C-alpha cells in the first residue's frame, strides 16, 4: 500500500504526486494523507466534516467522508482510495469540502488520471503458436490412446 502526502495551501489542492498512482480496478491499494489548514480566513475548521467530492470520467458523481485527525499545526485527512474511485479509467475530478450546518468551504477542483489497468493479451502470432502446440498435444494423446487400445486387444 502506497502512502502519499498532499498539503493544501489556501484553496489549492495540488495533486501532481497522485498522477500515475491510481490504477483502474484497484481497491484500498493507496492511502492519501492530506494536510489541511486548521484556520481559513479566521474560521476554525477543526470541528468541520471533510468530504471528498468527485466526478469520474463517465460523469458519475459521488462523495466520501474523509478520516480526520487534528494535529498541532494542521488537520490531517485520510483518503482511502476505494473501488468507487477506480471503476473507470480517465479523469477523476476531485475537491475537498469542509462543512458544518452553516458553513461550507471547498478547495479548487483538481484532476487526477485513473490509469488503465494493465491487461494481458496474447498477440495473434503467439496465439497461432499456442494452437499449433495444442494440436501436437492432441495428436500425441490420440497416439497414446490408440497404443493403449491395441495393448488391451
pLDDT, position 59: 93
Where b means 16+ CB within 10 Å and e means fewer, 98-132 reads beeeeeebebeebebbbbeeeeeeeeeeeeeeeee
- Tell whether the model's pLDDT for residue 41 goes beyond 80: yes
Which one is predicted more confidently, 86 or 130? Answer: 86
- Tell whether the model's pLDDT for residue 96 goes beyond 60: yes
pLDDT, position 75: 94
Contacts of 11 (CB under 8 A, 6+ apart): 105, 106, 107, 108
- Tell whether the model's pLDDT for residue 29 goes beyond 80: no
Q: What is the pTM of this model?
A: 0.71
Of residues 10, 84, 18, the one with CA closest to residue 45 = 10
CA distance 22 to 45: 28
pLDDT, position 61: 94
CA distance 40 to 140: 76
Farthest CA pair distance, the chain? 97
Amino acid at each position: 500500500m502506497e502512502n502519499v502526502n498532499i498539503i493544501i495551501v489556501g484553496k489549492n489542492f495540488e495533486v501532481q504526486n497522485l498522477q500515475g498512482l491510481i490504477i483502474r480496478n484497484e481497491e484500498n491499494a493507496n492511502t492519501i494523507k492530506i494536510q489541511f489548514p486548521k484556520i481559513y480566513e479566521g474560521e476554525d475548521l477543526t470541528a468541520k466534516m471533510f468530504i471528498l467530492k468527485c466526478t469520474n470520467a463517465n460523469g458519475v458523481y459521488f462523495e466520501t467522508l474523509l478520516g480526520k485527525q487534528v494535529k498541532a499545526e494542521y488537520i490531517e485527512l485520510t483518503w482511502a482510495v476505494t473501488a468507487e474511485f477506480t471503476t473507470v479509467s480517465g479523469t477523476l475530478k476531485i475537491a475537498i469540502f469542509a462543512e458544518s450546518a452553516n458553513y461550507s468551504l471547498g478547495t479548487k477542483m483538481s484532476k487526477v488520471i485513473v490509469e488503465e489497468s494493465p491487461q494481458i493479451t496474447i498477440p495473434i502470432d503467439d496465439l497461432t503458436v499456442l494452437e499449433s502446440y495444442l494440436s501436437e498435444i492432441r495428436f500425441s494423446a490420440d497416439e497414446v490412446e490408440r497404443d493403449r487400445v491395441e495393448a488391451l486387444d
